[in-house]
Structure 1
Amino acid sequence: MPSDPERSFPATGPLALQNSGRITLRRLRETLGPLVLDSVCIPRGDEVPVGQPVVQGLYEPVPPQPGGLLLLAGGAVDDGTLEAIRQAGQAGYCAVVLKARGADLAAAAAGAQEAGVALCTIPDDMPWRHFDALATAATGAVEPSADSYASVGMGDLFALANVIAYQVGGAITIEDPHGHVLAHSSLPHQEIDDIRRKAILGRLTPHRPGNSDEYQRVIRADGPVWFDIPEPDHTNRLAIAVRAGSQLLGLLWALDGAPALGEGAAAAIVEAAKVTALHLLRARTHRDPDRWRRAEVLAALLDGGVGGHTAAAQLGLATDARTVVVAFAQATPEDTPGLAGARTVDLVNLYCEAWHPQALCVAAGGTVYALLPVRADAGALARAVKFAENVCDTVRRNTGLTLHGGVSMTGDVLDHVPACRRTADRVLRALAADADSPRVAALEEVRSRVTLLELLERGSPATDLAPGPVQRIIAHDARTASTYTESLLAYLDAFGEAVPAAARLSVHENTLRYRVRRIQKLFGLDLDDPDTRLATWLQLRLHDLSTRT
């Protein structure tokens, strides 16, 4: 605990999120993500400090708020917008945020450039109140006026984190059991390290070797746990599990850096854990039941267990809502680390919240499904693909996991959601079947492979037919370790052109021609017949896919 509470401390932490605007525009954009806050022009650079958000309607005088974030709610981009941008520049605002609604923003960008204020946009579908809440949380809570827990409103976790930081003497994060940062302190005299900085920006503790073991040590311990860390960019830590009886609610982490924790830090964090349990229980009472209920309904809807009419009211959607299902799965077959897997669900949830108030996700097995309400326009699928790409990028940065994302077609009503889920699953499977595939795809990009996989699932040769040439070729390769199957498929893939097929196999074209003649002779295969060529290629292709999936 600091020895002199009246001492004036310098603001040393680059993420000290005070009203003075310690967070920069760049970090605000990184924290919220490109799907939430996009920049049109930044005349003073993106390292300018950001203050608190101010919601303002068009044609209303812009109030003074140096360094503020002006949320310009209103209609179309017109002269009123240009005037508001001019006034924001005069009042010293950091940035003006508006919704483009398909308008040309060239004039607004020119006005912002002249006014010296950044111009940013948010999605047209995002309610202003939702963005205001996200921006307010990102820019942080003010330092508490007293060191008493009684000064903290129930459920105000950011203010609570500041009081705990004051009592314990080091920068604090309040996390859920999966490493999701629920709140963090922002006292200006308490420094943070790079790990803490990344956790605040990504709202998740970054995955690193030994991370899961540290969490398990804290969870199993009856009291505080000290971590002496020799790495220069990683500060020592004091941690404790937050429980209500035997129920694990979360964890508290305190940095033992600058300033160093005092002798009473362990006792102070024990008391802090008791107070935090009350706040987390209150927060869970208000938020978690609704989230879990909606997730359970979504899981049932995806499986076809409930109809669209039944699910509509519980999901807050109309029965004729247009939606897209995006499925995420790990690109490699290794087991997903528990903590990293939980982070993936948390990140998808965060992106869903940014997409639309009624968007949500649920994990089923090794797949995470996101249900995205979309507008009835030609760009809906492209935006969903961009959503999936951003999720994959963020998960990769925060957890080290590589995901594939499968985007379904658009469902016109909620009753189409199960079919959309099946389509997203097939797209995922098509991506997994080809090592050269992109990370994310919509159905049209991999339709041919999806069709082949459908044939592989549904179709098989009649059981009363004797094995044909293709089955005999495959069996011959299995017995003799020959490569007739691979050679013939490459030849047919190349439309009978020996040169590109031989290059793919890394053999001479004359060698390949000899093999093909040999195959035709040994197995009675007439490749001059178009039906035989089609049937042979299809069977070989399906066999190849079956060995990859």
Structure 2
Amino acid sequence: MPSTSRPAPQVTDASAPDDSGGTTLRRLREHLGPLVLQIECAPQSEDVLIGRQVIHDPCEPVPAQADGVLLAVGGSPGGADFLAAIGQAGAARYSAVVVKARGGDLAAASAAARSAGVALLVIPDDMPWRHLDALVTAATSASGPAQDTYTSIGMGDLFPLANAIAYQVGGAITIEDPLGHVLAYSNLPHQEIDEIRRQGILGRQTPDRPTNLDEYQRVIRADGPVVFDIPDTKHVNRLAVAVRAGPQLLGLLWALDGNPPLGEGAEAALEEAAKVTALHLLRARSHRDPDRWSRGEALASLLEGAVSGRTAAAQLGIAGDTATTVVAFAQAAPEEMPGLGGARIVDLVGLYCEAWHPQALCTTTGGLVYALLPTRTDPGAERRVVKFAENVVTTVQRSAGLALQAGIGVPAAQLDEVPNGRRTADRVLRALAGDPQAPTVATVSDVRSRVTLMELTERGAAAVDLPPGPVQRIIEHDVEHSTTYAQSLLAYLDAFGEAIPAAARLAVHENTLRYRIRRIQELFDLDLDDPDTRLVAWLQLRLHQIAG
């Protein structure tokens, strides 16, 4: 491959501390460790600064991203497309390209990387790309002067990390998961704790208090640290911040503002510590249950149709011809607590999945929680899945105070059909969300008519290329003159032209409704004696009602 010239990337002095606020390739390797990341070659040295990561499809051109890290998803290290992508990355001033070797020879890729002036990084074949993306996001966020304080702490060693944070922030620290489980805490002798902290340490769980839900909501929704002034003289004030890797909520940091009191720089120090903690929590979670993490990532990819059933079968440990059903869960009031609520739901759905079948799985993607249930094909299979969903909804409501709705997808005879089951479950959920009288759990058979109407609305089936008809003019007239002709006509058609039940539904006299229907026919030239006209008018009004 011909040499590709480009301006040399910004490189730090290896002998000097990195105070630029960026992350070097060397630091990234040290953070992630040799089990996660290996450097095949680094022609510009390991002290080159790296920027944001970019996921790349081998069939697409490499986008511009100076100092970026190109994640070559699906690329073969010896393929022509991949070698060309390395050259493009060099021309676009990337710092590194990441690849999975998959047993292939890296000699050609390494030579191309040296020629292009970019580092070639290799990760394990069985590591999900999403996991790597989250790790790199956490590592590159955890940069700058604060990170230097924590470099001697082993990755995932949360108790030494808590002590280091307590020293920097100036107050006793606890590290919690999104459910309030105490993962680690500081124990510096000069920092006092109160009774709430003591109970949390002894029980490894934040004590149940009336203000817990509101406090966690505030922390999770905030962009930075949150100060809590505790009126009870037996308890001290607190400072808290959410720990995230990108949009993913990983946990919370809590600092006590007691004896000694926190100083002026405590909020900034805690915010920087949260960036470092994100990487530790990702590594600790992966080490505690790496298989579960990997399976969750593989399930999310299968639900989205990003991998084939055959690939998913190998990653999930499930036969490709296993019959399954997807159940989608969503909060009935998603604004209530998007971060903490979602974590609680995943936790409880996971427990129910384990009780259902050893190969049942759950994951979260797109703001929803999904369960993949191996099912039989006997007549009672659907009822058992409905019962599963009802039990989850009831348990989450009772134990976490969160109202859920569940949509059940069509059964999949093999894993290749799972994405279709997920899409059906999503449609059922949307149908439930749009109907205040809907049940909490439904199959597509329960809401088939509404799902069909929503499909027509989404596909624009009613938007024929014709001039505005009577229904469009009725709707426009209502907007301009504050009339209720569209509502009245829809109620009349819903009642099969019977004025008495339609008037009762509208809470008007039947003669009033009859007068409105006559006026509608006169003003808008609408022939309600024609069956096709009645059908089209009703359909357009219903689609307008659903869309509005």
TM-score (norm 2): 0.54
Contact 2:286 2:293 in 1 (8 A): no
Residues in 1 aligned to 2:385 and 2:252: alpha-carbon distance in whole angstroms: 34
Residues in 1 aligned to 2:282 and 2:428: alpha-carbon distance in whole angstroms: 40
Q: 1:210 aligns with which of 212, 215, 219?
A: 215
Residues in 1 aligned to 2:480 and 2:451: alpha-carbon distance in whole angstroms: 31
Contact 1:181 1:200 in 2 (8 A): yes
Which letter does structure 2 place at the counterpart of 1:434? D
Contact 2:220 2:340 in 1 (8 A): no
Question: Counterpart of 2:381?
Answer: 380
Residues in 1 aligned to 2:513 and 2:493: alpha-carbon distance in whole angstroms: 12
1:414-456 alpha-carbon deviations (Å, 9 max, x no partner) = 1110110110011011111111111111111101111111111
1:18-52 alpha-carbon deviations (Å, 9 max, x no partner) = xxxxxxxxxxxxxxxxxxxxxxxxxxxxxxxxxxx
Contact 1:207 1:399 in 2 (8 A): no
Contact 2:182 2:205 in 1 (8 A): no
Contact 2:324 2:415 in 1 (8 A): yes
Q: Does 1:472 align with 2:477?
A: no
Question: Counterpart of 1:36?
Answer: none
Residues in 2 aligned to 1:455 and 1:313: alpha-carbon distance in whole angstroms: 37
Residues in 2 aligned to 1:324 and 1:344: alpha-carbon distance in whole angstroms: 18
Which letter does structure 2 place at the counterpart of 1:439? T
Q: Does 1:500 align with 2:501?
A: yes
How far is the alpha carbon of 1:210 from its aligned partner? Answer: 1.7
Question: Counterpart of 2:362?
Answer: 361
Q: Does 1:546 align with 2:542?
A: no
Corresponding residue SS for 2:301: helix
- The within-5 A match list for 1:324-343 is 324-332=325-333, 334=335, 336-343=337-344
Question: Counterpart of 2:443?
Answer: 442
Question: Counterpart of 2:419?
Answer: 418
Which letter does structure 2 place at the counterpart of 1:181? H
Name the CA shift for 1:447/1:429 in 2 (closer, same or farther; >3 Å): same
Residues in 1 aligned to 2:460 and 2:283: alpha-carbon distance in whole angstroms: 54
Contact 1:207 1:398 in 2 (8 A): no
Contact 1:181 1:204 in 2 (8 A): no
Name the CA shift for 1:251/1:452 in 2 (closer, same or farther; >3 Å): closer
Name the CA shift for 1:215/1:459 in 2 (closer, same or farther; >3 Å): closer
Residues in 2 aligned to 1:242 and 1:330: alpha-carbon distance in whole angstroms: 21
Which letter does structure 2 place at the counterpart of 1:179? L
Residues in 2 aligned to 1:492 and 1:284: alpha-carbon distance in whole angstroms: 57
Question: Counterpart of 2:533?
Answer: 532
1:340-396 alpha-carbon deviations (Å, 9 max, x no partner) = 232222222222222222222222222222111112222222222222222223333
Residues in 1 aligned to 2:349 and 2:460: alpha-carbon distance in whole angstroms: 35
Residues in 2 aligned to 1:462 and 1:251: alpha-carbon distance in whole angstroms: 49
Residues in 1 aligned to 2:350 and 2:447: alpha-carbon distance in whole angstroms: 26
How far is the alpha carbon of 1:285 from its aligned partner? Answer: 4.7
Question: Counterpart of 1:42?
Answer: none
Residues in 2 aligned to 1:312 and 1:213: alpha-carbon distance in whole angstroms: 40
Contact 1:199 1:205 in 2 (8 A): no
Residues in 2 aligned to 1:379 and 1:316: alpha-carbon distance in whole angstroms: 26
Question: Counterpart of 1:433?
Answer: 434
Contact 2:182 2:206 in 1 (8 A): no
How far is the alpha carbon of 1:231 from its aligned partner? Answer: 7.6
1:100-122 alpha-carbon deviations (Å, 9 max, x no partner) = xxxxxxxxxxxxxxxxxxxxxxx
Which letter does structure 2 place at the counterpart of 1:479? E
Name the CA shift for 1:390/1:201 in 2 (closer, same or farther; >3 Å): farther
Residues in 1 aligned to 2:457 and 2:203: alpha-carbon distance in whole angstroms: 45
Residues in 1 aligned to 2:523 and 2:406: alpha-carbon distance in whole angstroms: 44
How far is the alpha carbon of 1:282 from its aligned partner? Answer: 9.1
Q: Does 1:298 align with 2:303?
A: no
Q: RMSD of aligned C-alpha atoms?
A: 4.9
How far is the alpha carbon of 1:338 from its aligned partner? Answer: 2.4
Corresponding residue SS for 1:208: helix
Corresponding residue SS for 1:444: coil
Question: Counterpart of 1:44?
Answer: none
Contact 2:500 2:510 in 1 (8 A): yes
Question: Counterpart of 1:460?
Answer: 461
Corresponding residue SS for 2:213: coil
Name the CA shift for 1:346/1:383 in 2 (closer, same or farther; >3 Å): same
Residues in 1 aligned to 2:472 and 2:207: alpha-carbon distance in whole angstroms: 52
Name the CA shift for 1:215/1:476 in 2 (closer, same or farther; >3 Å): closer
Fraction of identical pairs, as percent: 62
Which letter does structure 2 place at the counterpart of 1:210? E
How far is the alpha carbon of 1:213 from its aligned partner? Answer: 5.0
Contact 1:237 1:253 in 2 (8 A): no
How far is the alpha carbon of 1:482 from its aligned partner? Answer: 0.6
Contact 2:325 2:412 in 1 (8 A): yes
Which letter does structure 2 place at the counterpart of 1:493? D
Name the CA shift for 1:355/1:241 in 2 (closer, same or farther; >3 Å): farther
Contact 1:381 1:409 in 2 (8 A): no
Residues in 2 aligned to 1:394 and 1:341: alpha-carbon distance in whole angstroms: 14
Which letter does structure 2 place at the counterpart of 1:211? Y
Which letter does structure 2 place at the counterpart of 1:341? G
Corresponding residue SS for 1:427: helix
Question: Counterpart of 2:487?
Answer: 486
TM-score (norm 1): 0.53
Residues in 2 aligned to 1:242 and 1:465: alpha-carbon distance in whole angstroms: 53
Name the CA shift for 1:237/1:318 in 2 (closer, same or farther; >3 Å): farther
Corresponding residue SS for 1:394: helix
Contact 2:181 2:204 in 1 (8 A): yes
Residues in 2 aligned to 1:431 and 1:463: alpha-carbon distance in whole angstroms: 28
Name the CA shift for 1:408/1:337 in 2 (closer, same or farther; >3 Å): closer
Contact 1:179 1:205 in 2 (8 A): no
Which letter does structure 1 place at the counterpart of 2:471? V
Contact 2:499 2:510 in 1 (8 A): yes
How far is the alpha carbon of 1:302 from its aligned partner? Answer: 1.1
Question: Counterpart of 2:19?
Answer: none
Residues in 2 aligned to 1:206 and 1:443: alpha-carbon distance in whole angstroms: 39
**Stretches of structure 1 lacking an aligned partner (at least 5 in a row):** 1-154, 158-172, 185-190, 255-262, 264-276
Name the CA shift for 1:200/1:482 in 2 (closer, same or farther; >3 Å): same
Corresponding residue SS for 2:377: coil
Contact 1:198 1:205 in 2 (8 A): no
Name the CA shift for 1:204/1:417 in 2 (closer, same or farther; >3 Å): farther
- The within-5 A match list for 1:183-222 is 208-212=213-217
Q: What is the total number of aligned residue pairs between the two structures?
A: 355
